[in-house]
Structure 1
């Protein structure tokens, strides 16, 4: 863990750099000048060499898509491998900040540099904004030295990129690592097909919560849409309607058609343990794969990284069950 010498600040948009427009706050270019002006006016700010690159188009993170994850990944790899940067600070909107941190955790496997994502709840320059505190806090981490891998820094907390979730829509302490049970087997190695060197393509993924009234027709409609990976949010420790044979058959049919169905718990504190209840066992037997205590963001990002690499169902399931970067094992 060494102090950073050549930091790239990758500005993707988000609240931190927004300015007021007639339609409301919107991402704005020119953040580098505003950032340098602030740091120059505050001599106690971290003194670290950095350059800034703006991704185009700048986004309100509510508009984040898989293609944007891939663009961020490409920009980071290019910055490290071609331009010699030894760390990345990625400025991002908060709505999908945890999703992007999780996705990049899997897309950048094997890239041995620190990547820290941050943003703010109020724009830089707004009264009492948290923007400069988050940005300078992240810069201080790089100045002191930070571990390789993807992490999320917010409100003084440094969180694992594949363990963070946004819990609050207004408070500055918006993000936390949910206290979910972590257990499983760590992968003995990361094959080349799962590293940052492997090109990815967009994947048709869906998230479906189990709720009273869920019907087999809902699952069939998703399968008919061409979905390749389905993240099923189960009750408690991984249960659902076990007496609805049509629904169980719909899961089994989806599996037969090559859909990877992964189960997480709906509970903020919880994990999937199918064998605890018979209802969970029946879901498992219909073809569901346990995500253990993974968050929605981590499970979705991992599905994207595996299926987007072109892995077949059996191979993707194999690697999904193993811990790749700390998402499953504490």
Structure 2
């Protein structure tokens, strides 16, 4: 039976919202559609849109999320919109990596003409005092009322930008917030063809390295030796690093000359990278490291994945990384 057009897709990936107790503790479980329909029947007074259900098989704990899962979500969403005529998508996701998935989808779905909303819960559905149904039905209500295209997160009554959201608390219901790193830059007016949501992506070997006192060139060599295609450096302050460690700087410069995309963000919650403020920052820029501005770790990693996964060469990937595509480069 073909789903009715003008309906929503609920894409269930697993996570706490649908977990049930096992001998080893809470674990992802199938069968969430039946539970959802039963709960909706109890609240018949709620005006909710028509929806159809799809489950990522098998459902996962979001701590196990991989690039392959992001690509599977992207494929399911694009198919629901282009083949089935869905006018919106709700992704049910675990909270541990929800912000990473929201960021990745923000770049994988550039130009998608319908809204994509992610939510989850801190306690499983059915547990006394759980936030699950409130988050889920609240998200469906928002989609019913109408939202602008793009990827966003709905959690604890708040709508958050998909490429600017962080998980801030591992216990409170109000677990997510937007990064407070200045006013969002004006996004790119038109999506480049190479980054359109219809472009199929591939897995990318990426790594994240926080700088710390005592970081050695040998550490960097070991990481780069794994075939990394893109490396995200989490720098001090406004984008500084050890400027007197010549072997480390040489390792970065050599990696860039081999085609590795090197990008930098700030370790500070409200920081942004401006390489020309300190000599310790300009040294990194001289090695080929590009600025992520005020992007979060989740956004910068998701953006590198989308750019390199589209097959862009180093220079082209660097060019688009430094351009604002969906409001991610605030500051």
Please indicate, yes or no, whether the TM-score normalized by the shorter chain is above 0.5.
Answer: yes
Residue equivalent to 1:96: 97
1:184 and 1:95 map into 2 onto residues whose CA distance is 27
1:75 and 1:301 map into 2 onto residues whose CA distance is 18
- TM, length-normalised to structure 1: 0.96
Maintained 8 Å contact 1:232/1:261 = yes
Residue equivalent to 2:149: 148
Question: How much has 1:204 moved relative to structure 2?
Answer: 0.3
1:216 and 1:46 map into 2 onto residues whose CA distance is 59
1:44 and 1:280 map into 2 onto residues whose CA distance is 58
Residue equivalent to 1:46: 47
1:6-35 Cα shifts (integer Å, max 9, x gaps): 111000000000000111111111111111
Residue equivalent to 1:325: 326
Q: Structure 1 residues 60, 226: CA separation in 2 closer, same or farther (over 3 Å shift)?
A: same
Question: How much has 1:46 moved relative to structure 2?
Answer: 3.2
Where 2:276 maps in the other structure, the secondary structure is helix
Where 1:176 maps in the other structure, the secondary structure is strand
Residue equivalent to 1:263: 264
Q: Structure 1 residues 184, 273: CA separation in 2 closer, same or farther (over 3 Å shift)?
A: farther
Maintained 8 Å contact 1:258/1:313 = yes
Question: How much has 1:142 moved relative to structure 2?
Answer: 1.0
2:41 and 2:189 map into 1 onto residues whose CA distance is 47
Q: Which moved more, 1:187-196 or 1:315-324?
A: 187-196
Residue equivalent to 1:177: 178
1:258 and 1:285 map into 2 onto residues whose CA distance is 15
1:77-99 Cα shifts (integer Å, max 9, x gaps): 00010111110000000011000
Residue equivalent to 1:159: 160
Where 1:233 maps in the other structure, the secondary structure is strand
Unaligned runs of 5+ in 1: none
Maintained 8 Å contact 1:103/1:301 = yes
Residue equivalent to 2:72: 71
Where 1:54 maps in the other structure, the secondary structure is strand
Maintained 8 Å contact 1:103/1:302 = yes
1:7-156 correspondence runs (5 A): 7-156=8-157
Residue equivalent to 1:305: 306
Question: How much has 1:184 moved relative to structure 2?
Answer: 5.5
Where 1:47 maps in the other structure, the secondary structure is coil
1:206-225 correspondence runs (5 A): 206-225=207-226
1:240-279 correspondence runs (5 A): 240-279=241-280
Maintained 8 Å contact 2:216/2:248 = yes
Unaligned runs of 5+ in 2: none
1:107 and 1:189 map into 2 onto residues whose CA distance is 15
2:36 and 2:195 map into 1 onto residues whose CA distance is 35
In the alignment, structure 1 residue 197 sits paired with structure 2 residue 198: yes
2:86 and 2:184 map into 1 onto residues whose CA distance is 34
Question: How much has 1:178 moved relative to structure 2?
Answer: 1.3
Maintained 8 Å contact 1:181/1:292 = no
Maintained 8 Å contact 1:262/1:288 = yes
Question: How much has 1:175 moved relative to structure 2?
Answer: 0.5
1:230 and 1:86 map into 2 onto residues whose CA distance is 36
Where 2:151 maps in the other structure, the secondary structure is strand
Question: How much has 1:183 moved relative to structure 2?
Answer: 6.2
1:43 and 1:184 map into 2 onto residues whose CA distance is 42
- TM, length-normalised to structure 2: 0.96
2:320 and 2:264 map into 1 onto residues whose CA distance is 15
1:316 and 1:170 map into 2 onto residues whose CA distance is 37
